[in-house]
């Protein structure tokens, strides 16, 4: 364990004016509070807070953050209290320690709905003081470095949580080094064989080609010396997980993978950056489409650098990052650079982002909407790379990679997005689902009276656009949903011999946490609530009547008795989901989910549309849904998956392997289900299984009627 004087020396390296006495006091207090506590490895527990503090000194953080690291587990794990910490170390430290404690208590890998709410709390804590998450990230990094002492199932849970939440969050904050280390440590737990295989291939490559990094570094230095540019050059092999991800994304074998080496050139000025770029492009051939200028178009977390990929020595592709020293400091620390100290004073780095503005930008579009929508948006924001496009006037619009003209329109203004009818990219009219590329000019064409379409939700990429479209659809459809909800409520209440009076609906709304009966009916009509749930809430003793089975030959309401009906094979709608009927000559009526892309071809044929909804009650488990699973290639895994599905009272009607790899399988499983709640139960059970890497509902437009 680092002793207190060594820790103070680490702080003094960048902040000679630090409050050494207060750090000593915090160190002594932490030692006393954690006395008698031990980690799983058998070490004294206080070794962990000290290690977290040491990690934060590498980012040159202020005294309050270092002291918070030393005390971050005291309120949670010892008899210490907020009041005592505030009395001894001040209000600022007490608030930070309390914030870290609340974050620690969030179960970020819990059930989907809880996870969404906990993500919201995470971002609220970040918005109060971003240093809370800096301490939490350092805490997670040290826990991952020492994860071997945990039980295997706990290791896997922590590693998944790290890969899904903490690593992307570190990357979104600009702390790329931490993201890479967290990903690699999690990769080591989740797929040790794949990681070991990549490391072995690296060693073999080194034996065959020699020290490529040293040779290319020397080549770059020689070229810079010729033009008299003073710069430092560093090279490294990319992390195993980064290579593995590229292999999966591009479906390439290691031998065919290029761009596995990265080089950084750090110079004195912006002018030197562009001079160096010219030197490199003159000496080596640039790889088309692999150039990014984040100096002229910085990332939102302050990151600035030029990225150029070239065919280097022996034709090997290498990525070169060119930046100034100040840019490099922000690239290493990200948003944390705001708190960096140098020579005892806050570092005045012109590229450091104001954390308050950064977090406001990240959370401004999550103020409205439900928790699931918030979770979806946050994950989109954290995982996104960026493209930069221009308005016709030359203004820059920054978007995630994969964004479309619709995302562009909503990024300008919600009103423009809602009224979009078409778009031009570089002067050429393109479909709204076109993926935008860096540097393109986008012109949005609008029309008065245009309204968002349900299919737009699947076209757009940004959380802002998805939220705006859903909000508009909810408002536009609310009247229709209320009418449909009234019909659903009437049928469900009559089924148990009751009436859906205003008073009954108001009572149900209050019990279900809805603002009023109108909102309750709207949610019934949009299938966000089931009529069965409303009746069960008011009359639990009569709920068995609601559970009476529906005749599977007539599962929907809204058709004459002699009309034949069947579910669309493309979207496989389930009871509980919003549906619409489409008439087909010779086939009767086919029931589609309301968001089925196949409905687009009938937009100009309104006479073929029939308003349908499912019968209230308990449907038989005869509705087949295809699930796509990615599972570990291990003995007994497939048997456990089948058992899990059976335990949920669901029958497997077909099973087909779509991909077989040495370490995993992908397969399609057809499952017979009652309704959308039954689907949720099955998917939740599968997602909780350690050997299931991914599970999703499979929809195939090629199977349209």
Catalytic residues: 76-77
Closest CA to 247 of 263, 262, 258, 261: 258
d(CA 273, CA 265): 8
Secondary structure of residue 123 in the 3-state scheme: helix
Residue 701 — φ and ψ, nearest 5°?
-65, -20
Identify the CA nearest to 127 among candidates 385, 448, 361.
Answer: 361
- 27-59 CB burial, b ≥16 within 10 A, e <16: bebbbebbeeeeeeeeeebbbbbbbbbbbbbeb
Candidates 369, 370, 334; CA nearest to 354 is: 334
Burial class (CB in 10 A: 0-12, 13-18, 19+), 455: middle
Do β-strands 588-593 and 565-567 pair in parallel, antiparallel, or remain unpaired?
Answer: parallel
Closest by CA to 592, choosing from 603, 581, 605, 608, is 581
Question: What single DSSP character describes residue 448?
Answer: T
**DSSP secondary structure string, 8-54?**
HHHHHTT-TT--HHHHHHHHHHHHHHTTT-B-TTSSBTTHHHHHHHH
C-alpha distances (whole Å) from 149 to each of 42, 54, 154 are 9, 21, 10
Nearest in space to 132 (alpha carbons), one of 167, 94, 177: 94
Cα atoms in the Cβ-side hemisphere of radius 13 Å centred on 394 = 0
Q: In what order do the strands lie in the sheet with 306-311?
A: 232-237, 261-267, 317-324, 306-311, 285-293
Give the side-chain half-sphere CA count within 13 A for 552: 12
DSSP class of residue 163 equals: I
Q: Report DSSP letters for 58-74, one per residue.
A: TTT--HHHHHHHHHTTH
- Work out the angle between the directed axes of helices 63-71 and 82-89 (0-180°, nearest 10): 140
Residues in the chain: 705
C-beta separation of 354 from 366 below 8 A: no
């Amino acid at each position: 364990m680092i002793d207190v004087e060594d820790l103070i020396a680490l702080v003094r390296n960048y902040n000679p004016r630090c409050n050494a006495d207060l750090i000593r006091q915090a160190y002594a207090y932490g030692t006393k509070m954690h006395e008698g506590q031990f980690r799983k490895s058998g070490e004294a527990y206080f070794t962990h807070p000290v290690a977290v503090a040491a990690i934060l000194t590498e980012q040159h953080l202020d005294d309050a953050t270092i002291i918070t690291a030393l005390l971050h587990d005291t309120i949670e794990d010892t008899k210490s209290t907020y009041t005592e910490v505030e009395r001894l170390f001040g209000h600022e430290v007490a608030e930070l320690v309390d914030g870290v404690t609340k974050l620690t208590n969030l179960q970020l890998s819990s059930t989907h709905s809880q996870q969404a709410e906990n993500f919201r709390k995470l971002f609220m804590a970040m918005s109060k003081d971003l240093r809370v998450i800096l301490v939490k990230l350092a805490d997670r990094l040290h826990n991952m470095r020492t994860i071997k002492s945990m039980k295997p199932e706990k290791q896997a849970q922590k590693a998944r949580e790290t890969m899904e939440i903490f690593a992307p969050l570190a990357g979104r904050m600009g702390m790329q080094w931490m993201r890479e280390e967290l990903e690699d440590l999690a990769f080591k737990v989740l797929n040790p064989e794949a990681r070991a295989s990549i490391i072995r291939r690296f060693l073999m490559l080194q034996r065959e080609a020699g020290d490529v990094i040293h040779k290319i570094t020397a080549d770059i230095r020689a070229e810079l010396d010729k033009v008299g540019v003073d710069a430092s050059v560093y090279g490294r092999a990319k992390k195993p997980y980064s290579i593995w991800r590229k292999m999966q994304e591009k479906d390439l074998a290691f031998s065919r993978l290029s761009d596995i080496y990265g080089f950084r050139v750090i110079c004195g000025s912006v002018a030197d950056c562009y001079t160096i770029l010219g030197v490199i492009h003159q000496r080596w051939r640039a790889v088309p489409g692999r150039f990014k200028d984040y100096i002229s178009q910085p990332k939102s977390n302050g990151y600035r650098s030029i990225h150029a990929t070239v065919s280097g020595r022996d034709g090997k592709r290498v990525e070169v990052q060119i930046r100034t020293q100040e840019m490099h400091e922000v690239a290493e620390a990200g948003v944390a650079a705001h708190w960096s100290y140098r020579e005892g004073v806050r570092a005045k780095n012109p590229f450091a982002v104001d954390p308050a503005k950064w977090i406001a930008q990240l959370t401004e579009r999550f103020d409205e909407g439900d928790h699931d929508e918030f979770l979806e948006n946050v994950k989109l924001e954290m995982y996104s790379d960026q493209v930069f496009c221009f308005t016709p006037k030359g203004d820059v619009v920054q978007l995630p990679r994969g964004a479309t003209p619709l995302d562009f329109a909503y990024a300008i203004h919600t009103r423009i997005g809602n009224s979009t009818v078409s778009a031009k990219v570089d002067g050429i009219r393109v479909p709204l689902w076109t993926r935008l590329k860096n540097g393109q000019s986008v012109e949005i064409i609008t029309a008065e009276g245009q309204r968002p379409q349900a299919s737009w939700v699947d076209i757009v990429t940004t959380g802002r656009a998805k939220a705006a479209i859903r909000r508009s659809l909810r408002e536009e459809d609310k009247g229709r949903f209320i009418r449909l909800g009234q019909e659903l409520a009437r049928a469900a209440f009559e089924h148990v011999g009751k009436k859906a009076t205003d008073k009954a609906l108001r009572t149900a709304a209050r019990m279900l946490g809805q603002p009023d009966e109108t909102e309750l009916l709207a949610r019934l009509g949009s299938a966000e609530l089931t009529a069965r749930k409303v009746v069960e809430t008011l009359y639990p003793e009569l709920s068995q009547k609601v559970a009476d089975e529906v005749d599977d030959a007539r599962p929907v309401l809204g058709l004459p008795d002699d009309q034949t009906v069947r579910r669309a094979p493309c979207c496989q709608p389930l009871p509980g989901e919003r549906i619409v009927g489409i008439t087909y000559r010779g086939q009767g009526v086919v029931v589609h989910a309301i968001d089925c892309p196949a409905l687009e071809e009938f937009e100009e044929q309104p006479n073929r549309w029939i308003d349908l909804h499912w019968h209230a009650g308990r449907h038989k488990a005869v509705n087949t849904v295809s699930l796509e699973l990615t599972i570990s290639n291990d003995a007994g895994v497939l048997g456990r998956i089948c058992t899990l599905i059976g335990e949920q009272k669901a029958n497997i009607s077909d099973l087909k392997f779509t991909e077989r790899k040495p370490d995993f399988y992908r397969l399609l499983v057809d499952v017979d289900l009652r309704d959308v709640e039954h689907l949720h139960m099955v998917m939740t059970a599968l997602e909780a299984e350690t050997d299931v890497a991914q599970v999703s509902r499979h929809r195939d437009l090629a199977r349209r009627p």
